[in-house]
Amino acid sequence: MHSPGGPVGVAEPQHGWGRELAQALGSVRGAPLRLESLSLAFCSSLKPCPELEHQASGPKDPSPEPQGPSLLTLQALQELDLTACSKLTDASLAKVLQFPQLRQLSLSLLPALTDTGLVAVARGCPSLELLALSHCSCLSDEGWAQAASSWPRLQHLNLSSCSQLTDQTLDTIGQACKQLRVLDVAMCSGINVAAVRRLQAQLPQVTCVQSRFVGGADLTLTL
C-alpha cells in the first residue's frame, strides 16, 4: 500500500467511478483512508454511476455518509487530478467533490463541465490553492461571478482555452482571489490585454500571467 503522503495513480477504469478504484477503496476496512494525493487523469472511461446522477439531481440524502466504496471516504485528500475524465458531468462532480481540505484540483479537458458544476465544486472545495480548468469551453462569466468568492486562497489558476470567458471574469477574480500569484488565460479570445494588465495592477503579487493570443495578441508577463 502506498505511503499516506504519496500520490496514487489508477489505471483506466471501465465502469462507474471505476471498478478498480471501488475495489481499492473497499479493500481497506477498519481504518480510515489517509490518502492525500490521487490522480485519475486521462481515465476516459471513468463515468458517473446512474445512482450518483439520480441523487445529485433529486432530493438530497439526509445521511451525509457515503454508502459503499466512494471517493467521499477520502476526507484527507489534498490533491485530485481528474484531467480529461471526459464523461464526468456536473451532477457527478457535485455529488463527489466535497473535500473541504482539498488544495489542488484539476478539471481540465472536461467538455461537460458548465457553470452549474463550477459553482458546486466551489461550494464543496473551498480551500483550493491551485485550480486547473483549461479547455473547459462551457464555462462563462456567470459561473465565475458565483464561484469566485468561495476561493479566497486560490494562488494558481489555469483558464487557458476557456473560450467563453471575457474581461468580466478577470475583474471578478481580481476582486475575490486576493492571493492569486500565477494565472494562465492563454487562448481565451474573449479576454483583452487591457484586462490582463488591469488585473496585474490590482494584484501586484501576481508574478506570472500566461496570455498568449488573448484578444489576438501574444503576451506573456513575468515579473
Please report, for the chain, the start and end positions of each structural domain, with discontinuous segments joined by +.
Answer: 100-215
d(CA 51, CA 173): 35
Per-residue pLDDT, 32 = 52
Neighbours of 5 (CB within 10 A): 11
At 154 the pLDDT is 98
Please write the tens of the pLDDT for every residue from 141-153: 999 999 999 999 9
pLDDT band of residue 34 (cuts 50, 70, 90) is confident
Confidence of residue 213 (pLDDT cuts 50, 70, 90): confident
List CB contacts of 176: < 8 A, sequence separation 6 or more.
148, 149, 151, 152
| Cβ burial 54-83 (10 Å sphere, 16+ → b, else e) | ebbeeeeeeeeebeebbbbbbbbbbbbbbb
Across the chain, which distance is largest between two alpha carbons, in Å?
57
Instruction: Tell me which CATH code domain 100-215 carries.
Output: 3.80.10.10
What does the CA dihedral 51, 13, 136, 92 come to, rounded to 10 degrees?
10
pLDDT band at 75 (very low <50, low <70, confident <90, very high): confident
Helix, strand, coil percent content, the chain, rounded in steps of 5: 30, 15, 55
What pLDDT sits at residue 211? 83
Q: What is the mean pLDDT of the chain?
A: 80
Cell triple for 39: 490522480
Task: Report the pLDDT averaged over residues 167-176.
Answer: 96
pLDDT band (50, 70, 90) for residue 66: very low
Confidence at residue 46, expressed as pLDDT on a 0 to 100 scale? 72
- The residue ranking higher by pLDDT, 29 or 156, is 156
Q: How far is the C-alpha of 174 from the C-alpha of 186, rounded, in Å?
A: 17
61 grid coordinates: 440524502
- CA–CA dist 189, 158 (Å, integer): 15
Quote the CA–CA distance of 212 and 222 in Å, as a whole number.
13
Residues 29-35 have a mean pLDDT of: 61
pTM, whole model, 2 decimals? 0.79
Residue-level pLDDT at 14: 38
pLDDT, residue 26, reads 52
